[in-house]
Structure 1
Amino acid sequence: MRSIHTLTPALTLCAVALGLALPAAATAAAPAADIAAGATSSDPVARGRYLATAGDCVACHTAPGGVDMAGGLALASPLGPIYSTNITPSKTHGIGNYTLQQFSDALRHGKRADGAYLYPAMPYTAYAKTTDVDIADMYAYFMQGVRPVDRASPPTALPFPFNIRLSMGVWNAMFHDDKAYQANDQQPPEWNRGAYLVQGLAHCSTCHTPRNALMAEIGKKALSGGEVGPWYAPNITSDTKDGIGEWTPQELVDYMRNGHVVGKGSSGGPMAEAIDHSLSHLSDADLRAIAGYLHTVPAVSEGSTQPAFSWGKASDQLDSIRGVALPKDMNAMTGPQLYDGNCASCHQAQGQGSSDGKLPALFHNSTLGHKNTNNLVLAILEGVPRHGRDSIMPAFAHELSDQQIATLSNYLLQAYGRPDAKVTTDQVQRLRSGAQDNTLLTMARVAMAVGALVLLALVIWLFSRRNRPSTP
């Protein structure tokens, strides 16, 4: 499952993306050291591959079991499935006929070669920061270093009015800054490199920044937490309670490289994919630059009293289940019973995890320390698959009911995590089913209907004035 690109209602008017999104797919299977070498290479193709990896679009442009970057992946959105495009250099179904200028226009201005607007789930709003030199190197990589695949992607059919791409021109005029990154002369080169990657190719704000009613990122709350479909992308500002202010730079580097840090947390869902396909392949210098820049991002507080990773301690409730028969109704099982039967074999009796840290402890674990509990539920439902690495947690969607997952989750929060956070059976059911929120579509259609009525009333008024008898 490629959950990283399950779209959220927050990605509405712009958020139902599809057009040309950027590359990293073909690099997924390559050794990290080989890719990282491209960071300082003089070869445009090698350097372009590295930059494409930093862009991390493999989850969008590679269907399960498909060829890298050949598209065809169905992206779930509140408005229906969107199919990713073929971005191999195929001249029949890919981008093989794109000129460098057309390639640049797609990345920086959100326009396809035929002039149609893209939707910003292809994060051109971030890719616009990329320099001309880097865009040229990526173009060289796509045209010379990617195997063409002559395969068409299924067409995307969004409901009216979102199938009118021309509306994105208005949205771009209101919210899109298409200027390349400008270095801050008051900051050292490493800081500028980190800012360039975070704001640009790594497109961190696409997931980690909340959006306004028109689905544009809220600049004053940059990187303070957002939504990626059902997943919660946490606050990564410098705030010491809600952000990453208490993480050391080396811990951030280790997290981006390996996906987990003992005593802090483990990645899952979209972040695990971003690490496996992109961040883990970057050079140490670039990871240090990203970590250093994030520590300077203005703090945004959400009112937490302590960091997400600091909750809980080792404990168990074995006494409550010893000698106690399981209930006839499995939905009546207690949290300790569910934990003992499904979790203790890996996370150990007191939630301490494995001694080597590969199976994480449940206390001092950020997943259980956020007020938003979606990630906890989704980790239980979907497991934690890792691409190119051993999966660290199986999925329990077919093993546990909605009630059992809610009971287990609340037990974990009380025993090892943030005790004021809650999970409900309705929440589990919604996340399991992938139910879509049609609020945006309804609002858009109502707004258009109101606009049409106003326009009609104006026409009638003007017509009546024109035909009104003149007063002698």
Structure 2
Amino acid sequence: MKNMLKGLGAALCVALPILAQAPADAATPAGAGAADQALVQRGAYLAQLGDCAACHTAPKGKPFAGGLPMNTPMGRIYVTNITPDAQTGIGGYTEADFARALREGVAKDGHNLYPAMPYPSYAKVNDDDVKALYAFFMHGVAPVQQANRESDIKWPLNMRWPLMFWNMAFLQKGAYRDKPGKDVAWNRGAYLVQGLGHCGSCHTPRGVAFQESALDESGSAFVSGALLDGWFASNLTGEHNSGLGRWSDEDLRTFLKTGANRHASAFGAMTSVINNSTQALSDQDIAAMSAYLKSLPPVGGNGAPAYTYDPQATKVSLDRPANDAGARVYTAYCMHCHGVDGRGFAPMLAPLAGNPNVLAKDASSLINVTLNGTGDLVINGVPSPFPMPGFAAVLDDKQIADVLSFVRAGWNNGAPAVGAAEVAKLRQSTQAGR
């Protein structure tokens, strides 16, 4: 969802949270006495639900102190310090200041935030939850004096005043309201998915001005899958091949709690979501999110029938790997983890047969994870024993294209082939600066 954006649209790239820098002369926060610990604890839970730590904590950095770099087509931006430090963080923010930044994308000093901060989603957060989040960030987070770093974006693209007009066009103000005719679990799930969970920020396609094409289920494009910084955020609708149509409610709840199930394993940015957010959610909230997502009608399919497993043609190819370049690579590098039958050893080693990420029309995630591997899933403090390694230094562009084409065709997957040029493009963009 980048590369073709120019001007204002380009300035809006990246779909992950970032709060603004507080002015250097920020005052002591309002109500800085003893906080209601129950409120602080609730705010801590909500901050996990919003996955705030994933973006506002740099690798090996102090919690919420910022500094994490994010790439955009115009240059690099750096997430900011949202600890209660009065000079470099948000210690001078009142609850009203905090609510305005969270839900309207306007900082204490009046400047507009980039929609890298998903305030179009956070606009739906209700007042009680805003109050709890404010209590947590003011009284449950240790202040860190760490100055914010200016972005690398050059003038005039670094100007923020055009964002006022973007907000006029695309920001829908107002907290979520329960939908009549839907039960309590569905409405809770809708509130979490659309609001603090901000699932649409990554999983919904973007328009020409980089706005989300839909903010809830009333728009057919909502969470139907989108390209995000070299990864394809999966289709979360009921589409039966690349979406959740073949997943049971239990499958989805298991994935949100552990990052893996019989269909797929988390990788890329979703690893961070599982590690920092969804595994910590209550069973009730996980069930609500699953109920809502499983209610979404199918969108984005190519008209193909629902996937059915058929190993015969692939088995013949693997029996004689010299006849197929992709099969040769698979036999040498992939088969021991993902199996001759393509079914892997779920949930520890992901299946490739029928995997929604394999069946997706956009192969970016497959290319990216093959080149660069993925970070560890860490569930209850225990890292996954078999993370996907990167093969950028081992396999050339053609070999990766060959093996992914083999996988996408194998076991009746029936997905389009991958070209070496696609691999080369992602290699260049993801390996830069490594």
TM-score range, shorter chain: 0.7 to 0.9
Residue matched to 1:69: 64
CA displacement, residues 239-265 of structure 1 (integer Å, 9 cap, x when unaligned): 445532332211111111111211x22
2:184 counterpart (163, 186, 189) = 189
Q: CA deviation at 1:113?
A: 1.1
Residue matched to 1:246: 246
> After superposition, where does 1:354-393 map in structure 2 within 5 Å?
354=345, 357-388=347-378, 389-390=383-384, 391-393=386-388
Q: CA deviation at 1:181?
A: 0.8
Amino acid corresponding to residue 313 of structure 1 in structure 2? P
Whether 1:396 aligns to 2:387 is no
Q: CA deviation at 1:123?
A: 0.2
When residues 364 and 232 of structure 1 are mapped into structure 2, their CA distance, relative to the original with a 3 A threshold, is: same
CA distance in 2: counterparts of 1:276 and 1:184, whole angstroms: 31
Q: CA deviation at 1:138?
A: 0.5
Amino acid corresponding to residue 416 of structure 2 in structure 1? A
Amino acid corresponding to residue 127 of structure 1 in structure 2? Y
Residue-pair matches, total: 401
Residue matched to 1:268: 267
Residue matched to 1:226: 226
Q: Is the 8 A contact 2:237 2:298 kept in 1?
A: yes
Amino acid corresponding to residue 272 of structure 2 in structure 1? E
Residue matched to 1:353: 344
Whether 1:146 aligns to 2:141 is yes
When residues 218 and 191 of structure 1 are mapped into structure 2, their CA distance, relative to the original with a 3 A threshold, is: same
Residue matched to 1:121: 116
Amino acid corresponding to residue 105 of structure 1 in structure 2? R
CA distance in 2: counterparts of 1:9 and 1:154, whole angstroms: 27
More helix by share: 1
Q: CA deviation at 1:17?
A: 7.3
TM-score norm. by structure 1 comes to: 0.79
CA displacement, residues 431-459 of structure 1 (integer Å, 9 cap, x when unaligned): 111179xxxxxxxxxxxxxxxxxxxxxxx
Q: CA deviation at 1:156?
A: 0.7
Whether 1:89 aligns to 2:79 is no
Amino acid corresponding to residue 12 of structure 2 in structure 1? C
Residue matched to 1:14: 12
For the residue of structure 2 that corresponds to 1:377, the secondary structure is helix
Amino acid corresponding to residue 277 of structure 2 in structure 1? S
CA distance in 1: counterparts of 2:357 and 2:145, whole angstroms: 42
Q: Is the 8 A contact 2:15 2:201 kept in 1?
A: no
When residues 338 and 146 of structure 1 are mapped into structure 2, their CA distance, relative to the original with a 3 A threshold, is: same
CA distance in 2: counterparts of 1:20 and 1:71, whole angstroms: 9
> After superposition, where does 1:34-183 map in structure 2 within 5 Å?
43-183=38-178
Q: Is the 8 A contact 1:277 1:387 kept in 2?
A: no
Amino acid corresponding to residue 367 of structure 1 in structure 2? N
Whether 1:334 aligns to 2:325 is yes
2:429 counterpart (434, 443, 447) = 434
CA distance in 2: counterparts of 1:344 and 1:435, whole angstroms: 25
CA displacement, residues 415-442 of structure 1 (integer Å, 9 cap, x when unaligned): 2463341211111111111179xxxxxx
CA distance in 2: counterparts of 1:347 and 1:16, whole angstroms: 32
Q: CA deviation at 1:218?
A: 1.4
Q: Is the 8 A contact 2:192 2:289 kept in 1?
A: yes
Amino acid corresponding to residue 181 of structure 1 in structure 2? Y
Whether 1:299 aligns to 2:289 is no
- Computed over aligned residues only, the root mean square deviation of the Cα atoms, in angstroms, reads 2.5
For the residue of structure 2 that corresponds to 1:351, the secondary structure is coil
CA distance in 2: counterparts of 1:104 and 1:159, whole angstroms: 29
When residues 104 and 176 of structure 1 are mapped into structure 2, their CA distance, relative to the original with a 3 A threshold, is: same
Q: Is the 8 A contact 2:83 2:91 kept in 1?
A: yes
Whether 1:255 aligns to 2:246 is no
Amino acid corresponding to residue 185 of structure 1 in structure 2? P
> Among the aligned pairs, what percent are the same residue?
37
Q: CA deviation at 1:290?
A: 0.6
CA distance in 2: counterparts of 1:164 and 1:62, whole angstroms: 25
Q: Is the 8 A contact 1:183 1:192 kept in 2?
A: yes
Residue matched to 1:466: none
CA distance in 1: counterparts of 2:412 and 2:369, whole angstroms: 15
TM-score norm. by structure 2 comes to: 0.86
Q: CA deviation at 1:19?
A: 8.2
- Unpaired segments of 5 or more residues in structure 2? 21-35
Amino acid corresponding to residue 319 of structure 1 in structure 2? D
CA distance in 2: counterparts of 1:17 and 1:223, whole angstroms: 13
CA distance in 2: counterparts of 1:18 and 1:406, whole angstroms: 30
